[in-house]
Amino acid sequence: MFLAKDNLRLGLVLGLIGPLIGLLIVYFIKFPSLSFKEFLEYFMHDNKVITNVGTFSLLANALLFAIYVHFDKAQTFKGIFIITLFYGIGILVLKLF
C-alpha cells in the first residue's frame, strides 16, 4: 500500500498526479459541456479560472500532504511539497501572462 512507503520518489509522483486528478474533477463537475481541449484553453487564458481551478487542483496535493504528515512519512510528504511548490509557481506564471 502507498501509505506504508516513505520515499521521496513516491512523493514526487503523487505530487504530480494529485493536481491532475483535481483538474479532471473540476472539469467533469464544472465544465462538462466543454471538450477537454476547450476547457484547457479556457483555463490557460482566463485569470479568474486559473485561480479557481488551480487552487482546487492544488487542494488534492494538500490532502495527500496531510495524509502523509499524519502517518509520519517525511520523505514522501517532502516530495509532495516540492511538486506543489512547482505547480503553485506555474499557476502564478500563468496568471502573469
Which phi and psi angles does 48 have, rounded to 5°?
A: -65, -40
Number of structural domains (the chain) is: 1
pLDDT in tens, 24-63: 999 999 999 999 999 999 988 888 888 888 888 889 999 9
Domain carrying residue 56:
2-96
This prediction has a pTM of 0.84
Using only C-alpha atoms, what is the Rg of the chain?
14
